[in-house]
């Protein structure tokens, strides 16, 4: 396999990039000075080597604990559960939430083969068992899978007795949290409801 085929195959595995775009990007890189490709390669290598999930909340970080878990000004008694680490940025932009997070790592989706055991739900249950957590806000996306995931999380947390709330439906149904604006997310957080 040639170097061109090799890179094209790798690029085509990225979301939203088909074979044609992959080939165009490869030829684009070949037209640029070689040091630009090397810079891109270097950035990818550093990304792969340094970025890892936070052992407490599964947010992505280059440190031992992520910046939010390590920040003493954050209220560790309120945990906001989200599907992906990329959702955290969206909620942080709303400047409404001062608690900490828990990244589930996806949403329940039997069609895609994602079961509860594939998500960090047991881990979340473990975080609330010591009694220091007073509320878990479930901020999964307002899709069918996101709602099913929220319900599953709530049921898993019920034995612990912790208060479980769900963000309000101010978000467009099927819309991704990641793309919602800060004001919309702030309203959805303020208007959250108890799930029990
Ligand atoms: Zn963390």
Q: What is the pLDDT of residues 149-186, one digit of tens each?
A: 999 999 999 999 999 999 987 666 556 777 777 888 88
Over residues 125-145, the mean pLDDT reads 93
d(CA 176, CA 103): 15
What are phi and psi for residue 61, nearest 5 degrees?
-155, 160
CA of 101 to the centre of ligand 1 (A): 7
137 burial type by CB count under 10 A (0-12 exposed, 13-18 middle, 19+ buried)? buried
In this predicted structure, what is the pLDDT of residue 50?
97
CA of 185 to the centre of ligand 1 (A): 21
12 burial type by CB count under 10 A (0-12 exposed, 13-18 middle, 19+ buried)? middle
In this predicted structure, what is the pLDDT of residue 161?
93
CA of 126 to the centre of ligand 1 (A): 15
Over residues 101-128, the mean pLDDT reads 94
Q: How many CB atoms lie within 10 A of CB 37?
A: 15
CA of 62 to the centre of ligand 1 (A): 11
Q: Residue 51 above 70 pLDDT?
A: yes
In this predicted structure, what is the pLDDT of residue 131?
86
Tell me which residue of 32, 35, 10, 31 sits closest to 21, measured CA to CA. Answer: 10
CA of 104 to the centre of ligand 1 (A): 12
d(CA 87, CA 106): 11
Residues whose Cβ atom is located within 5 A of ion ligand 1: 54, 56-57, 59, 66, 69
R_g of the chain computed on alpha carbons:
20
d(CA 181, CA 188): 11
CA of 140 to the centre of ligand 1 (A): 18
Q: Which of 47-51, 136-140, 157-161, 177-181 has the lowest mean pLDDT?
A: 177-181
Per-residue pLDDT tens over the stretch 67-108: 999 999 999 999 999 999 999 999 999 888 999 999 999 999
In this predicted structure, what is the pLDDT of residue 170?
63
């Amino acid at each position: 396999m040639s170097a061109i085929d090799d890179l094209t195959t790798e690029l085509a595995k990225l979301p939203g990039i088909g074979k044609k775009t992959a080939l165009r990007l490869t030829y684009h890189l070949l037209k640029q000075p070689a040091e630009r490709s090397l810079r891109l390669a270097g950035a990818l290598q550093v990304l792969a080597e340094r970025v890892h999930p936070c052992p407490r909340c599964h947010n992505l970080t280059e440190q031992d604990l992520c910046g939010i878990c390590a920040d003493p000004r954050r209220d560790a008694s309120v945990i906001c559960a989200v599907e992906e680490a990329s959702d955290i940025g969206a909620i942080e932009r709303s400047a409404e939430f001062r608690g900490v997070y828990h990244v589930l790592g996806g949403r329940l989706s039997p069609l895609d083969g994602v079961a509860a055991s594939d998500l960090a739900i047991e881990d979340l249950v473990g975080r609330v068992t010591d009694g220091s957590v007073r509320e878990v806000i479930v901020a999964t996306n307002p899709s069918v899978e996101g709602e099913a995931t929220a319900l599953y999380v709530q049921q898993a947390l019920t034995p612990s007795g912790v208060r479980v709330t769900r963000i309000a439906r101010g978000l467009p149904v099927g819309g991704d949290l990641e793309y919602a604006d800060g004001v919309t997310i702030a309203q959805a957080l303020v208007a959250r409801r108890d799930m029990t």
